[in-house]
């Protein structure tokens, strides 16, 4: 099938590479010339293991190309996926600026097309957004109607950064929210080779499923962290507690998130917790647990700061800055917040994160790093040894196995704060674990 994908960020780039690898003709669309040029050169605009190889393979085979020409993309394809970002507003509601803009552009391009075209929304949007925002904008701009002339579906993604290629190939489920049966049939046909059940529901159910999953993941992380904090105060290893809790797999518990540790971050969980909480408040629904999630998460960052402060030393080395290992994504990274707290209190800070350091020069996150956090970017070191030599306290912030050897300190006078669970034992005077 010939498919156009709007937005070459994490979701769009991964989907483009994976679908091209399965023989589909893919046109990636983005307003950023840098991203378009990177894709056409077979290079990845983001740090994601295995993605650049798939992109290069797709470009070489002729199955994948990128463009900023929307009319070209619509004319040459029969199905379009919307994968643009939906960031948070200050209120917690979603900012639909990018969704609205791309819908207007797609609609205008569809005005001159005779064949039926199907629109698939993969961006994360609150229930009602597709029917109340996406459909009216496209219908007005195109002069066409959904149903007889245009197909429509919602197809939430369940891709985790750093494992997105594997997650695409081995999804927990494939969810399709369809406006009509023909739209669902067309979309389902591109997933027939995946080893997962295809669940076809209404558009609103599909929209809500994505939020339910992400808020559940955020809930599990915060719950495990609170249990871990209580356990540590009682002299118990929170990891052992939650390991036992996770033995109950009959009630759909996943141990991927059920680990005490540092705060959650990234482009999905914080944003989706805020958005669902905002919508519940609009409907006068009481949600004390959900409203507490961001407070609990912020408290975990403050707890990490307190552990660093407890040593009474001023030279701090942070091993990791992105929100998760094997990615360069700094969006709502709790390690960035921790770094800003340390800087604000006058600590001497040095940071090592090889992926962020690469992105500072080459990646799509370069502009964000240089414009939004230049004060932190300037503290990044290219060599890990420089951070080790300059520091009195090491903060192990990412689950990068190369950091594990520093649990016991590379120098006798090193203190360690372990935020990810490398420590084999409970905390002592030289090593502090955040939940153990």
Instruction: Give the model confidence (pLDDT) of 314-355 as tens digits.
Output: 999 999 999 989 988 888 899 999 999 999 999 999 999 998
Pair type for strands 315-319 and 348-352: parallel
Question: Which of 3-12, 120-129, 144-153, 325-334 is predicted with the least confidence, judged by mean pLDDT?
Answer: 325-334
267 or 38, greater pLDDT? 38
Mean pLDDT of the region 60-75: 98
Instruction: Give domain limits for the chain.
Output: 2-201, 212-433
Q: Is domain 2-201 annotated with CATH 3.40.50.11900?
A: no
Integer Cα distance of 389 and 342 in angstroms = 19
Identify the CATH number of the domain defined by range 212-433.
3.40.50.720
pLDDT of residue 158: 94
- Listed in sequence order, the residues at least 6 apart from 418 whose beta carbon sits closer than 8 Å to its beta carbon are 396, 407, 431, 432, 433, 434, 436
Question: Whole-model pTM?
Answer: 0.82
More confident residue, 403 or 304: 304
pLDDT at 252: 43
Strand order in the sheet with 198-201: 64-67, 25-29, 2-6, 79-82, 117-121, 150-154, 174-178, 198-201
Q: Known catalytic residues?
A: 268
Same fold, 2-201 and 212-433: yes
Q: What is the pLDDT of residues 12-27, one digit of tens each?
A: 999 999 999 999 999 9
């Amino acid at each position: 099938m010939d498919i156009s994908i709007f937005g070459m960020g994490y979701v769009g780039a991964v989907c483009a590479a994976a679908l091209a690898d399965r023989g589909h003709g893919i046109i990636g669309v983005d307003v950023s010339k840098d991203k378009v040029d990177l894709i056409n050169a077979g290079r990845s605009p983001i740090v994601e293991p295995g993605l650049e190889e798939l992109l290069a393979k797709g470009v070489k085979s002729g199955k994948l190309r990128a463009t900023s020409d929307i009319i070209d993309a619509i004319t040459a394809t029969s199905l379009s996926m919307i994968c643009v970002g939906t960031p948070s507003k200050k209120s917690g509601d979603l900012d639909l600026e990018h969704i609205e803009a791309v819908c207007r552009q797609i609609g205008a391009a569809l005005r001159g097309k005779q064949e039926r075209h199907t629109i698939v929304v993969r961006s994360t949007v609150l229930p009602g957004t597709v029917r109340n925002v996406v459909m009216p904008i496209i219908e007005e701009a195109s002069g066409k109607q959904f149903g007889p002339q245009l197909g429509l579906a919602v197809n939430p993604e369940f891709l985790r950064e750093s494992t997105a290629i594997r997650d695409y190939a081995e999804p927990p489920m494939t969810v399709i929210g369809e406006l009509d049966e023909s739209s669902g049939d067309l979309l389902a046909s591109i997933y027939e080779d995946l080893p997962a059940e295809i669940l076809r529901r209404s558009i609103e159910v599909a929209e809500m499923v994505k939020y339910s999953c992400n808020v559940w993941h955020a809930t599990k992380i915060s719950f495990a962290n609170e249990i871990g904090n209580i356990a540590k105060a009682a002299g118990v290893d929170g990891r052992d507690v939650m390991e036992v809790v996770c033995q109950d797999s009959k009630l759909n518990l996943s141990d991927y998130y059920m680990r005490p540790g540092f705060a959650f971050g990234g482009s999905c969980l914080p944003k989706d917790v805020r958005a669902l909480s905002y919508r519940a408040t609009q409907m006068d629904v009481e949600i004390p647990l959900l409203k507490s999630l961001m407070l609990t998460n912020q408290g975990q960052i403050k707890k990490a700061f307190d552990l660093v402060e407890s040593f009474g030393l001023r030279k701090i080395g942070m091993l990791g800055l992105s929100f998760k290992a094997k990615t360069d994504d700094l969006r709502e990274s709790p390690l960035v917040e921790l770094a800003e707290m340390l800087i604000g209190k006058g600590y001497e800070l040095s940071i090592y994160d090889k992926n962020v350091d690469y992105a500072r020069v080459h990646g799509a996150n370069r502009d964000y790093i240089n414009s939004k956090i230049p004060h932190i970017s300037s503290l990044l070191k290219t060599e890990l040894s420089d951070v080790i030599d300059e520091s009195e306290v090491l903060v192990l912030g990412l689950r990068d196995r190369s950091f594990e050897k520093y649990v016991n300190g590379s120098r006798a006078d090193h203190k360690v704060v372990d935020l990810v669970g490398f420590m084999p034992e409970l905390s002592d005077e030289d090593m502090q674990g955040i939940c153990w």
